[in-house]
Every structure is written in structure tokens, then in C-alpha cells.
Structure 1
Amino acid sequence: MPPRRGSNGALVVAHVAGMIDLVALPVWVNTLIDWFHFDAQRAGALATAYLACAVLCSVCVAPLIARLPGRLAAAPGFAVAAAGFALAAQATTFGTMLAAHAIAGAGIGCGLSVVHGAIGKTANPHRLFAMGHLALAVFGVVYFAAVPPLVSTQGGALLFGVFVGLSLVACIALAVAWPASLPGTEVAQRVASPRATRRAPLERGCWSAIAGIVFMAINQAMVFSFAQRIGLARGFGEAHVNAVLVAVGLVNLLPPVLAALLQRRFDARNVALAGPLAQGVLALVLANSPAFAPYALAASLWVFAMIFTHTFLFGLLAKLDATGRAVAYTPAMLMAGSAVGPLLGGMLIVRFGFGALGVAAVCIAFVSLLCFGRLRALGVAQTRLDLPPAH
């Protein structure tokens, strides 16, 4: 029986399903409050439980990525996530809802880590990861246009029904169309045996890049979680602030496209240094501007900085580590920020006001900058032109 050819499109679909929290979290939490009648603290705890379980499972799976059978490890993860979301749709108590979120998060963390590890082994992981972010941005536009109105008329269970459907689509896509031969797998097998692969440390520079991404993700979630609240508190008006959020969704279509087009022109190490600097400047403007125009510009570009920078860093990590372990930590990197950022931002705002958000963002950006600066200090090679051969 000939092997199935498979398609990288399955990895893109799974990326969208696995990173759904980046798009859905505001509506997700609001639905838990409005339709399932949890207070803000419990609704936030449910989101944190989902993200924490995803991070924990990603951290456990990533070191083993070279030893796991891709299709058999990734597809069941999304099936478990679908089961968790299905349980959430039917839950009537906080305990049941907490268990449902934990199950869904565990499934996503396992499945998505395997998917990102596989993307890291493709011929051009930078471009494929950019395609995944573009697909997620397109889905986000559709999601915000369709899901909130449907939830308002059909009830909160519909939201989790959408998550169930998306997870099942990813599960089926991975099971049917998992790429049969991923470039880079042979490299990983030649480098070391399964036992050695498990124990061998990551290449130098990997942990510095991973740490820098984590701090950027914390900044991303900390500031963006309160972007809408800042605009309303400044008196810009609900209509104007909502228009900015729509602009954010449209602007998010640009960074993955630009990152793919500029792959051969920009050195990933320079992009990594520019990302935290952009975050620091934009955060100061967003948190302190008394005028609408600077606030709107900073809010519109806020997510751009993270997506553009992370795409280049994903390609860098994929090049540094041929086994795919480094990029398999991607869910943990991003979701750790999603879990920590809003809590940290809320504490700062309550105690010191919105201005403290900008100051904290600058401090965190500086730490991220130090992490990325080590890429040059450690002698990590530039990654602008030395792309892998086409397969």
C-alpha cells in the first residue's frame, strides 16, 4: 500500500485550531460571564486553567518531539480538545467547566506542540509558520464578524460548539493529510539515536530566543488585554474604540505576508532586536496618549510587532534545532504570556493606573532585548539567505 502524500495545509489548519485563544479569548471570557453566569474571577480562572494545562503539556511533549510519531501524536490531541470543549458546552457547574477547560487545554498543548515541531522540519518553516499566522488572522476576521452575534441569539454553548468543530476539523486533517515525509526528519535521525536526542541539550542560542519570545508574549497579553479599556477610559467613545479593534483585525493580515516576503532580506537576529523596541514604544503611546490618533495607531500596530518578530524567530529556532524540539515549545511560549500578562496588567492598573502599564512594558521589553542580544554574543549565525534546499 503506497504511503499517503499528505499536505502542509493540514499543519496550517491545526495551527489555527490550536492558537484559537489568541483570537477568541475576549469573547470566550465574556461568554462565560454572560451565559454561564460565572463572575469575572471564575471566568478568568477557567481561561487560566485552559492555558496552564496547554503550557504544561507543551513543556512535557516538546523534549520528546523527535521520538513521537507525528500523525498518531497530533491528531488524538485535537480529538481530546474537542471532547473537552464538548463537555464545556454541556457544563452546568464550575467544577465541570474547570475539568472541561483543563482537558481541552491538555489536548491542545499536546497536539499543537507536535504540529509546531513538524512545521519546524519542513523545507521552509519560516514561510509555513507565516502562512499559519495569515490563516489565523483571516479566521479571526470571520470569527469576530460571525460568532458574537450568533452567541447573542443562540446562547453560550454555541461558542464551544465552534471550538468543537474547529478541533475536529484539525484532527481529521492531521489524520488524513499528515505530511508523509517531513524534510528534516532524516537529519534528526542522523544526528543522534532516540536516547541521545532525548538527552542532548538544545543548540546554543535556543533558550535565549525562547526566553525572549516568552517575555514578548507577556507584554503582548498584558497590554492588549486592556487596550479597549484604556480607550474607553480616555473618553474616545465606544464606536471609535470598536473601530480600532476592527482595524487591528485587518492590520493583522499584513505581518505574516510581509514576514514571508522579507525572509531573504532581513536577518532574524536584527528583527528580534527590533521587536521588543517596537513593543516598548507602542506600549508607552497606547498607555499614555490623551489623543485618539496616537492611541489608535499604537493599538492597530501592537499585534503586528509580535507576529512579525515571532515569525522570524520561529524560522531561526527551526534552523538552530533540526529535531524540532525548540519550535515545539511554541504553544508554551505564547500561552504562558497569555496566562501571565492579563493578571500582571490588571494588578498594575488597579494599583498604579494605566501609565504603569507602559512603564512595565518597557521594562519587560528590555529583558526580552537582553535575551535576543545574546544571539549575537553566542555567535548564532545570521539566517537571511542561508535557506534549506527545496525538496
Structure 2
Amino acid sequence: METNLSPTTPAHADLAASSDAAARLGVLGGAALMIAHCAGMVDLVALPVWVGTLIGAYKLDPQQAGLLVTLFLAGAVLSSLFFSPRLNRLPARAMATIGFGIATLAFLGIVSVSSDRYPMMAVLHAVAGIAVGCSLSFTHGTIGRSRNPHRLFAIAGLALGIFAIAFLGATPGLIAMHGGPALFRVFAGVMGVATVACALAFPSIHTSRSMATVDEPRFARAVWFGMVGVGCMALTQSMLFSFVQRIGLDRGFGFSAVTATLIALGLVNLFPAPVAGLLETRVLGRKVVQAGPIVQAVLALIITQSVTFAPYAAATSVFAAVMIFTHTFAFGMLARIDRTGRAVAATPAMLMTGAAIGPVFGGTLVKQSGYGSLGIVAVLIAAAAVFCFSRLERRP
């Protein structure tokens, strides 16, 4: 696994020293990035179980449950917005380690908090989000500064798929046996492993003092459109994925059947990232990122409108895969347009701005208009995403 970093312009020639340091880490550095990616993107895997546990085990209503997850994601967004412009000025290994360490402590704190102490749960969710957003910004910025960001991000996606199988296969059973706090023990364990991995082997991209004073170029307009497009897809993903477990249970499909569907989703998620990596030079990225939101909206309609198990299960099992496949191409395109790594370092902000709105927005829609309204709104968001992605390649 190639984790060495390379400068791409004469103005960034001083980055070569840190590139050599990262290269010496070899497989260990790559493994640390994969673990950090999985820990930082835990919301993408855990949303249905997370919201479902807050509703089922903690007896919160959909809006309250969605708000807690939204606070976590909003914290990650604000943190990413603060740290991503500082990617090349701060020690990446130290920042990633500190962030995951704080997240570990925050989730351990939630374990001991009961649902009648909702404000404390809210504060701890926000703190965990701020910490994770910091670590994930340095993780994605490091991937973006690698020799082949598209390929390395595809490998990270494969790692996330493997993690999803383990998480979705084991966590619902643990929650059923030990109650809602078991979910946050699992989260704390994941963050703890990431803390150790980052401390031992995270590739450092800390630049020299002279580089810290260099004015980095502003983002091209295409970069901003690409960011908004990713945010739109993330909004649909979190808005619907937060309630996909409850949709199945409330329609009488049964706990075992819904859990099996989530496990199937984890298995399917093994494939989109490596396939996207293989197709990097064979398929036009512009076409992929424009088709992705449309497919996502169609699946959302099937999930929310279906009254029988088979269509629900089929659409749910591939729903997250569409986001993973499309985002891999979008990540590679953004990394090529902005070679400083700052655009992809803002990946948590892109993903989690949409994802932060999604749970509470989706909870409000469900509370007011039922599950069917999620599919209709998904179609409208898809139209906005296609418009934004159509301008991703229009750069000076």
C-alpha cells in the first residue's frame, strides 16, 4: 500500500522531506490511515443502528434521536472547517491522535449517561463530533496528498466495507443483550483503536516553518460546486439511512430480517470502492458523479414506498454502495483540481454538513408526514446534486 506523499508544484518543494518520512512507514502508515478512515466515518456505517438505538433503547422520539446524531455531525463539520485550511501547518500525527483520544473519552462518558439527562448526552455527542472531525480532516488530507488519491481512497473504502460487516453483524446483537450503552462502548472501542494506530504509525505531513508562511491558492469555483454536490448526496444518505432500520421494523418485516438486510448491506459495501479504483481510467468521473445522485434517489423512493420486504431489502442493501462509489470518483477529481490537499481535507465538512442536517431533518419529516416524505425530498436533493456535479470539471 503506497502512502508516500509527493509535492506537485515548485512552491511546495519543501514537502519532500515529509514525503520521505511517510514513505518509510510503508504498510504500517497505510494501515493507520485505513483504521483512521473507518473510525472517522463510523456514522456512515452506524446511522441506522445509532438512531434506532436512541429511539428503541433510550425511548427518544425520532426528532430527539436525530438531533443527537446531528450534534455529533455538526461538531465534525465545524471542526473540519477549522482544521482543513491548516492541514499543511500542523503535525498530522499528533492532531489525529489527540482527536480520536478525545472522542474515546466522550463516548465513554455517554455510556454512563441515562436518557433523562438529555442535555449531557447532547454535549458529549457534540464533543465527540468535534474530535472526530479534527482527526478525519488530517486523515483525508493525508490521503489527498498521496501519489494516487483516487486509489488510496478506494482502498480506504474497501476497509470501511470490511468494518461495516463486523459492526453491523455484531453490534445489534450486543445492544439486544446489554442495552443501549453497548453501542457507545463499541464506539469508544473503535476510537481507542484508532488513537493507538495514529499514535504509532500515522504518516506525518507537517511542513517546514517556511512553508507555513506560503500563501496557498484559493479554491477554483469547480471545487466549491463539487463540495456542495457531495454534501447533497450526504444529506440524502443520512436523512434516509438514519431511519432505514425503523422503516423495516415499523412495517413488520421483523428484527431478524432487517438485521440480515443490514449485514447484506455491509457485504455489498465491500465492492464499490475497489471497483471504483479499478475503473478510475476506464470511466469518465464526470458521468459517474452525475449518475450517482439519480440512482440514490431511485433507491430512496423504493425503500420509503415499498410495503413488501423484497424491494425494501434489495434497495437497502445497495443504498450506501452508491454513495461510496460516487464519492470515490468525486474525491479523486477534487484531489486533482486542488493539489494542496486542503479540498479533500474538508471531506468531513462536505459529507457531514449534509449528514448533520439529515437525521434531524429526516426525523422532522417522519414525525410530520411519515416515511414516504423522505423519498420525495430525496428526488429534489438529487436534482441539486446533479446540477453541482455538472460543473465539477468546468475550471479555468
TM-score (norm 1): 0.85
- 1:264 paired residue among 251, 268, 281: 281
CA contact (8 A) 2:103 2:131 kept: yes
| Cα distance in structure 2, aligned partners of 1:249 and 1:205 | 33
Q: CA deviation at 1:41?
A: 4.4
Match of 1:244 in 2: 261
Match of 1:138 in 2: 162
- 1:15 paired residue among 33, 37, 40: 37
- 2:373 paired residue among 321, 337, 356: 356
Greater mean alpha carbon deviation, residues 349-358 or residues 130-139: 349-358
Gapped runs of 5+ residues in structure 1?
Answer: 380-391
Write the mapping of 1:182-193 to structure 2, written as runs, cut at 5 A.
Answer: none
Greater mean alpha carbon deviation, residues 261-270 or residues 26-35: 26-35
| Cα distance in structure 1, aligned partners of 2:53 and 2:39 | 19
CA contact (8 A) 1:12 1:128 kept: no
| Cα distance in structure 1, aligned partners of 2:235 and 2:45 | 16
Give SS of 1:118's match.
Answer: helix
Write the mapping of 1:226-241 to structure 2, written as runs, cut at 5 A.
Answer: 226-232=243-249, 236=253, 239-241=256-258
Gapped runs of 5+ residues in structure 2?
Answer: 1-19
- Over residues 60-86 of structure 1, what are the superposed CA-to-partner deviations in whole Å (9 max), with x where a residue is unaligned? 111121212211222111111112122
Q: Alignment identity in percent?
A: 48
| Cα distance in structure 1, aligned partners of 2:266 and 2:365 | 26
| Cα distance in structure 1, aligned partners of 2:135 and 2:381 | 30
Q: CA deviation at 1:245?
A: 2.6
Whether 1:294 aligns to 2:291 is no
| Cα distance in structure 1, aligned partners of 2:261 and 2:326 | 22
- 1:325 paired residue among 331, 342, 361: 342
- 1:71 paired residue among 76, 89, 93: 93
Q: 1:231 to 1:94 in 2, by over 3 A?
A: closer
| Cα distance in structure 1, aligned partners of 2:180 and 2:204 | 39
Match of 2:144 in 1: 120
| Cα distance in structure 2, aligned partners of 1:91 and 1:230 | 27
TM-score (norm 2): 0.84
The alignment of Structure 1 onto Structure 2 pairs a total of residues equal to 371
Give SS of 2:392's match.
Answer: helix
Q: CA deviation at 1:206?
A: 0.7
Write the mapping of 1:1-391 to structure 2, written as runs, cut at 5 A.
Answer: 5-6=24-25, 7-33=29-55, 40-92=62-114, 93-180=117-204, 194-197=213-216, 200-232=217-249, 236=253, 239-378=256-395
Give SS of 1:67's match.
Answer: coil
Give SS of 2:88's match.
Answer: helix
Q: 1:114 to 1:128 in 2, by over 3 A?
A: same
Q: 1:37 to 1:278 in 2, by over 3 A?
A: closer
Amino acid at match of 2:215: A
